[in-house]
Amino acid sequence: MAQGQTAPGIVAGRLSSEDLTANFGDLHPAYAPHEAAVAADRCYFCHDAPCVTACPTDIDIPLFIRQIQAGNPEGAAETILNQNILGGMCARVCPTETLCEEVCVREVAEGKPVEIGRLQRYATDTLMAQDIHPFTRAAPTGKRVAVVGAGPAGLACAHRLAMLGHDVVIHEAKPKPGGLNEFGIAAYKTTEDFAAREVDWLMKIGGITMESGRALGDGLTLEALKAEYDAVFLSIGLAGVNALTVDGDDRDGVRDAVDFIAELRQAEDLSSLPVGRNVVVIGGGMTAIDAAVQSKLLGAENVTVAYRRSRDEMGASRFEQDLAASKGVKVMFNLRPVAVHGKGAAAQVELEYTRSEGGRLTGTGETLRLPADQVFRAIGQSLQGAPDALALDGRKIAVDDRGRTSLPGVWAGGDCAAGGEDLTVTAVAEGRDAAMDIHDALSGD
């Protein structure tokens, strides 16, 4: 039995298969054609559209919505995918409520934005359902590029390089490609194995070879890659998980939220997944919310998210906070873990109230205890496997505005690279832009 599933209160099958199927249905059901046309009609097609500025991949949003309005969703999809080759996944998982939709003129004037994310999904789903890949490869350049990591940044980089005529080999540590899109996002946000289907569709550009089971430091070295390839792009993500560093952190029933989410995403039968009766998630980001909501959907009776700072400082958006509350999750603020209590297995979490003084977080000395037979760590992830030769910026790989690292011929992007938000759409932009710079370098420009 896996770590974190041995506590007495953690059992499988709390809900029926029918209830689980309903609980894990699509969070934002796809538009029908008529619904998409009505939604597109709400767009003002602004000349200096703030939604475009707010999009990390610079998609021409007014243009693709006008194309939908004109009855051309395939053309809209090409507009989207030209900037964001993972536009289908980003339409599902992007926090559009804090990006393009937050600055939509309709949102500012009426409090109800154009549903840009759902329109983007409608367009990309329409094109993918027709098995259309709108891009073709340029003439072969004879250059070979290694991409380490098959997450959003690596896939975006590989696709753009392949489209420009280079041969790309992706080295992926896990048995399946996709990175966080495959292993790290709540199941109700990306249903029907979409992450894997999107990768298969992306690979139709040709010129990309996928090699699984190879990670830096485990059968793969940067020196060997530099010797074998003309360029290297690192998109290794953040594989380490920060510890709670409190007494009882190693008790049965305490585990990393990312492992729980990955296990759920790969499960063939949700009724076989154990979940506690009383679940406490420590953290305040999207991972914490995803773990908490899915615990509730699996049948946990009491689920609490404990975050050490205020609501406004929480990494998860207000939409995600409200989603959790709507599913019965209790979100508590200004609380930090002190200890996990229990005899062998977790039974309670002790938390201390906090306050900010001059921007610095301090404990008040006042504590409370919550019943907890299952505790999830979701307090951030850390870089692992980066070669010592690479310069770091804080705890991530240092890169310039083109994605170049401190080593000639090596680029990096996505969560492992410094700068930018840890979002799928940001990773796509960084992978795409690094690919263009790699192309320029290999072309002598």
Selected residue with higher pLDDT from 310 and 6: 310
**What CATH number was assigned to the domain covering residues 33-129?**
1.10.1060.10
For 82-129, what is each residue's pLDDT tens digit? Answer: 999 999 999 999 999 999 999 999 999 999 999 999 999 999 999 999
Confidence of residue 1 (pLDDT cuts 50, 70, 90): very low
As given in the structure block, the two tokens for residue 40 are 């597109």
The DSSP bridge pattern shows strands 231-234 and 144-148 to be parallel
Q: With pLDDT > 70 as the criterion, what percentage of the chain qualifies?
A: 98
**Looking at residue 380, what DSSP letter applies?**
-
For residues 334-345, average pLDDT: 96
Buried b (16+ CB within 10 A) or exposed e, 116-155: bbbbbbbbbbbbbeeeeeebeeeeebebbbbbbbbbbbbb
Amino acid at residue number 438: I
Say if residue 177's pLDDT is above 70.
yes
Domain boundaries, the chain: 33-129, 144-239+383-443, 241-377
As given in the structure block, the two tokens for residue 321 are 């906070």
CA-closest candidate to residue 176, choices 141, 211, 128, 124: 211
SS3 372: coil
For residues 66-84, average pLDDT: 98
First to last CA, the chain: 55
For 289-320, what is each residue's pLDDT tens digit? Answer: 999 999 999 999 999 999 999 999 999 999 99
Buried b (16+ CB within 10 A) or exposed e, 187-213: bbbbeeebbeebbebbbebebbebeee
**Domains 144-239+383-443 and 241-377 agree in fold:** yes
As given in the structure block, the two tokens for residue 398 are 């240092």
Q: Which CATH superfamily is domain 144-239+383-443 in?
A: FAD/NAD(P)-binding domain (3.50.50.60)
pLDDT at 219: 80
pLDDT at 20: 97
**Looking at residue 428, what DSSP letter applies?**
H
CB 194 within 8 A of CB 115: no
**DSSP string across 213-228:** S-EETBEE-HHHHHHH
Amino acid at residue number 399: V
CA distance 428 to 445: 23
**What CATH number was assigned to the domain covering residues 241-377?**
3.50.50.60
Contacts of 381 (CB under 8 A, 6+ apart): 237, 238, 239, 240, 241, 242, 258, 415
For 256-266, what is each residue's pLDDT tens digit? Answer: 999 999 999 99
Say if residue 339's pLDDT is above 70.
yes
Contacts of 107 (CB under 8 A, 6+ apart): 101, 113
pLDDT at 319: 94
Give the mean pLDDT of the chain: 95
Say if residue 181's pLDDT is above 50.
yes
Contacts of 133 (CB under 8 A, 6+ apart): 201, 204, 205
For residues 158-181, average pLDDT: 97
pLDDT at 5: 44
Say if residue 3's pLDDT is above 70.
no
CB 389 within 8 A of CB 221: no
Our CA dihedral for 307, 313, 314, 315, rounded to 10 degrees, sits at: -130
pLDDT at 7: 63
